[in-house]
Structure 1
Amino acid sequence: MNYDSMMPRDPFEGDPNDPASFLDAEDSVTPLSDEERAQVIEDLRIVRECKAVLAPRGMRGIYFFCEDCEIMHYYDWDIMAANMLASLKGELAAVHEPSAEPDVRAYVPWDYALGYLDGLEGR
């Protein structure tokens, strides 16, 4: 599935002074180890299950606090899955801009999502 249509238009498209042109090009993606690959596959399974169970209850995805920029980041289930699939293919994940004003009540922490699934299964 391609999520390019969900991306905002590049404001620097066609601009010879695009700030990104001054960045070093990404040479390659470090391949996942067998252990990392297995973990990503498991996380992808969990994300898909979370979407199936939590999306009908109004939960759009997860959030986490980013230590680098010191703000919360909100990711829809489909964006999480797309990022994981890119990792499995040995590609860089696409940059995803968050909503300007996400409904923070529609996102849960990863641990909450895992706990919710565990509760449903009686673990």
Structure 2
Amino acid sequence: MNYDSQMPLDPFADDPNDPASFLDPEEPAPPLTDEERLHITQDLALVARFREELTPHGILGIFFLCEDCDDLHYYDWDIMAANMAATLRGELAPVHEPSVEPDVNAYVPWDYAVGFLDGINAPR
């Protein structure tokens, strides 16, 4: 069982349609290719820069449109970094989501965050 008392309970607990039900927790994930590892490492560095540059502007993280449920999912910088670090270690990321009612104005799409960095680094 992947349980951390600091994290919310698994939202799919006891759900027969749990999208992770096909995963075997005893079977390791296939190893990352060198290219995948490079991309994740680059994204992890971006998350650190996003946190540094966007947090002072009140931005707490990233949101994504979930293709499974068509809802927006909000991830703070720590969750993003933890997911990527777990993937780099060959582990499944722990089940976690931010609060049930996040301040949606404090999250931006990934592309916005990249554009923000591009804008502040543009030659003047």
Scaled by the length of structure 1, the TM-score of the pair is: 0.83
Summarize deviations over 1:32-52 as a string: whole Å, max 9, x none. Answer: 100000000000000000001
C-alpha distance 71-36 of structure 1, shift in aligned 2 (>3 A): same
Letter in 1 for 2:86: A
Report the identity percentage: 57
Query: What secondary structure is seen at the aligned counterpart in 2 of 1:63?
Result: strand
1:25-36 equivalent positions in 2, closer than 5 A = 25-26=24-25, 27-36=27-36
Structure having the larger proportion of residues in helix: 1
Corresponding residue SS for 2:69: coil
| Aligned pair partner of 1:19 in 14, 38, 52 | 14
> Which of structures 1 and 2 has the larger relative contact order (alpha carbons within 8 angstroms, sep 6+)?
2
Question: 1:32 & 1:10 partners in 2: Cα distance?
Answer: 26
Q: Which runs of 5+ in 2 are unaligned?
A: 16-20
Aligned to 1:91: 91
Matched with 2:122 is 122
1:6 to partner: Cα distance? 3.1
CA RMSD of aligned residues (A): 2.3
- Structure 1 consecutive aligned stretches of length 4 or more whose deviation exceeds 4 Å: none
Q: Unaligned stretches of 5+ in structure 1?
A: 12-17
| Separation in 2, partners of 1:111, 1:31 | 27
SS of the equivalent of 1:19 reads coil
Q: What is the aligned length? A: 114
Residue 98 of structure 1: how far off its partner (Å)? 3.1
